[in-house]
Amino acid sequence: MANLLPAITTLFPSRPDDAVMAAALDALDLPLLIISSGSTGVDPEIVYANDAMTSLTGHAGSQLVGTPLNDLLTGSDASRVQVALFAAIRDHSPMRITIAIHRRDGNASEVSLAFRPLTGRHDETTDKCHLACLLSAADRDRGNAVPSSSAEESDTHPFQEIVDTLNEGFIQYDSDDRLVLCNQRAREMYTVRAHLFRRGNYLAEILRGSIELGDLLTDGIPVDEFIRLRTGKNGRSRSVHDNYLSGGRVIRISQRRTSDGGRVAIHSDITELKRAHELLRNAIEAMTEGFALYGPDDRLVVCNQKLLELHADVADILVPGSSFAQILRRMMDAGTWTATPDDLDTYIEQRVLRRRKLGEHVVERSMADGRWLRISGELLPDGHYVAIHTDITEQKQRELALTEAKLQAETASRAKSSFLANVSHELRTPLNAIIGFTDVMCHEMFGPLGSARYAEYASDVNSSALHLLALINDLLDMSKIEAGKYTLYDEYFELPPLVAECARQLAPQLELGELELHQTITPELPKLRADLRAIRQILLNLLSNAIKFTGPGGVIGIDVRTDRGGITVTVTDTGIGIGPEDLEQLTKPFQQAGNPMLNNRSGTGLGLSISRSLTELHGGTIAIASTLGEGTRVTFRLPPSRNAAEAY
């Protein structure tokens, strides 16, 4: 500080209190320079730098004083500054320009440089002019220098021009709390009571007058008590408090004590910031989830009411400043945290490190009272940590109920499949015997039966037994498919002979129903790699359904062709058709179109379901299109992998 006073006294030799003013300027948080320059702006030299400037550059004050300003600038910035200095000196007006300042560590800081000539500080003999330069956060525009807004000067203090360059309000009081200096920005902030800010007025008088004018609000605190709190000297060198003004404005006052016992106060209008904070706070409180924000030191910064409700047993420790470790320990002591580690201290330490290491993560935790919480955490780039706590108890209960229902359904399905398999096996044995014996009787292998009625009865029994065996086979196949135990045995075969075989097998039914079968088969079809028995069953099921639901004189069609490397088989009929309300249900087990009570057509309703399942086991698809009263089209397609030629 001592090495700067000669420059100050050189600049202001007529002011006995310049040392106090220098101390006040050193108390400023914003970097300040006073430079000496020729009238053309050439070779500007630093003659004063406050503490904030030395902190910015990393150079000591003694190193900066006497240093050319250009040493701190790049070549292009030096030229731009010279032009701006010339304009400021010529017009005797403030200017502002964005430049980069070189620091001692080799890096650079982009700043906004505002400067103005000091009144009466032009040395005619040396053609030197002194200018005050104030550095602040850089403007976005790095264009040419622009004039800085000039304030009406209402004080003759030699530092008035310097502090008027500040973007924030600046007020200095002496050790008796009498106003020494007030800049234009401060007067603009307090337009209702600007007349109170006269040099020599006491701080208490300014506060009382502001309250009486209704500009300064005391928030219910008695006036004398409010003034005592604002003017009291609590021994702290720094303090920050907010003044609430009429109209909803909020001014934050940051004070620092000077070496002579006075004070320097920086007044910042934080109205918009306060509103933004209030909006953010309201948004956090409106959340249906618990919200917590921790600082880089793992201490709670803010939380909402919902978090306090979710953790009511430990709500008293969920206050700003509590560490995550303290909160977790309290939860475990209260029994709300279900973990029971052997070493509590190690467990808490690992939990703290774990969430820092994981960054963004989601965990679900059961609480001691039966509730479930989902905790979503995210580590922010600046080291803060956000945690969202969501009560998912109802969701967990639904999941558990669904899991239990699914387990019961799977158990029931397995029991059903096992029952069907066992019953089918038990029924097939006697049925095979019945079929064999009635076949012998129908063909009178051991001689005539005697009466023609015996042969007729034997034929009916044989036919019924064969039908029942087919139904049992369907049930057995369905149970295997549902149990996932149906195994495909692939082999290579040609499809046209299989289609012809199925047509011959169904010829008696076609003849009985007075139906025609039209076959369309693409020549030179490739061989198929598939389960022969399964493909035969699909064809028989689809053709049988078509025959069953088509009246006399109707036409059944079967079309076989290649399709994009795969093979497509389409079975059509001119039968009764299927209504749109039945189509979606038709491929489900035991489903038939129409009212089953009025349907006189035999069957279990498993044919299409089995066909669909067997097609899907081959990697294929099945599609049904139908119009009620016009007919039905069923198409199953096998993929190229089932084409023997494509497989190679």
Tens digit of each residue's pLDDT (9 = 90 or more) over 410-439: 887 777 777 766 776 677 777 777 877 777
Q: Is the dihedral of CA 350, 351, 356, 358 positive or negative?
A: positive
Q: Output the pLDDT for position 17.
A: 45
CA separation, residue 333 to residues 344, 486, 609 (Å): 10, 57, 59
Who wins on pLDDT, 198 or 149? 198
Give the rounded distance of the alpha carbon of 177 from its chain centre. Answer: 53
Q: Output the pLDDT for position 292.
A: 92
Q: Output the pLDDT for position 109.
A: 83
Who wins on pLDDT, 557 or 70? 557
Q: Output the pLDDT for position 467.
A: 67
Residue 643's pLDDT band, with cuts at 50, 70 and 90, is confident
Q: Output the pLDDT for position 10.
A: 38
Using an 8 Å Cβ cutoff, are 64 and 53 in contact?
A: yes
Using an 8 Å Cβ cutoff, are 197 and 182 in contact?
A: yes
- Reported as a single tens digit per residue, the pLDDT across 521-540 is 988 888 999 999 889 889 98
Q: Best-predicted range by mean pLDDT among 3-12, 194-203, 465-474, 629-638?
A: 629-638
CA gap 176, 157 in Å, rounded: 19
Q: Output the pLDDT for position 433.
A: 76
Asked if residue 339 has pLDDT above 50, the reply is yes
Average pLDDT over every residue of 209-230: 89
CA-wise closest residue to 491 among 537, 535, 533, 531: 531
Asked if residue 140 has pLDDT above 50, the reply is no
Asked if residue 150 has pLDDT above 50, the reply is no
Who wins on pLDDT, 387 or 81? 387
CA gap 526, 125 in Å, rounded: 110
Least confident residue range of 10-14, 133-137, 338-342, 603-607: 10-14
Q: Best-predicted range by mean pLDDT among 36-40, 435-439, 513-517, 608-612?
A: 513-517
Average pLDDT over every residue of 618-644: 91
Residue 585's pLDDT band, with cuts at 50, 70 and 90, is low
- With a pLDDT cut of 90, the percent of the chain lying above it is 21
Half-sphere exposure of residue 628, counting CA atoms within 13 Å on the CB side?
7
Q: Which domains does the chain have, with CATH numbers?
A: 2-163 (3.30.450.20), 169-274 (3.30.450.20), 289-391 (3.30.450.20), 397-482 (1.10.287), 490-647 (3.30.565.10)
Half-sphere exposure of residue 142, counting CA atoms within 13 Å on the CB side?
7
Report the 10 Å Cβ neighbour count for 648.
5
Q: Output the pLDDT for position 633.
A: 94
Asked if residue 270 has pLDDT above 60, the reply is yes
Mean pLDDT of the chain: 80
Q: Output the pLDDT for position 620.
A: 93
CA separation, residue 118 to residues 122, 131, 135, 354 (Å): 8, 5, 17, 59
Q: Tokens for 12, please give them.
A: 């202001």
Asked if residue 632 has pLDDT above 90, the reply is yes
Q: Output the pLDDT for position 50.
A: 84
CA gap 519, 556 in Å, rounded: 9
Average pLDDT over every residue of 206-212: 89
Report the 10 Å Cβ neighbour count for 622.
19
Q: Output the pLDDT for position 251.
A: 93
Q: Output the pLDDT for position 390.
A: 92
Q: Is 32 exposed, middle or buried (0-12, 13-18, 19+ CB in 10 A)?
A: buried
- Reported as a single tens digit per residue, the pLDDT across 308-324 is 999 988 899 999 999 88
Q: Output the pLDDT for position 517.
A: 94
Asked if residue 564 has pLDDT above 90, the reply is no
Using an 8 Å Cβ cutoff, are 423 and 468 in contact?
A: no
Q: Output the pLDDT for position 646.
A: 61
Average pLDDT over every residue of 545-571: 92
CA gap 596, 580 in Å, rounded: 16
Asked if residue 142 has pLDDT above 90, the reply is no
- Reported as a single tens digit per residue, the pLDDT across 58-98 is 888 778 888 888 888 876 788 788 888 887 777 777 777 88
The answer to whether the pTM exceeds 0.85 is: no
Q: Output the pLDDT for position 591.
A: 52
Residue 225's pLDDT band, with cuts at 50, 70 and 90, is very high
Q: Output the pLDDT for position 19.
A: 57
Q: Output the pLDDT for position 596.
A: 43
Least confident residue range of 94-108, 342-356, 552-566, 579-593: 579-593
**DSSP type of residue 150:** P
Q: Please list, residue by residue across 4-25, b when 16 or more beta carbons sit within 10 angstroms of its beta carbon and e when fewer do.
A: beebbeebbeeeeebbbbbbbb
Q: Output the pLDDT for position 125.
A: 54
- Reported as a single tens digit per residue, the pLDDT across 46-55 is 888 888 888 8
Asked if residue 287 has pLDDT above 50, the reply is yes
Q: Angle, nearest 10°, between helix axes 223-231 and 203-212?
A: 150
Q: Output the pLDDT for position 551.
A: 92
Q: Is 412 exposed, middle or buried (0-12, 13-18, 19+ CB in 10 A)?
A: exposed
DSSP sequence for 47-97: EEE-HHHHHHH---HHHHTT-BGGGGS-HHHHHHHHHHHHHHHHHT--EEE
Q: Output the pLDDT for position 589.
A: 56
Name residue, tokens 């109802």.
Answer: 394
What distance, in Å, lies between the first and last C-alpha atoms of the chain?
91
CA gap 37, 44 in Å, rounded: 4
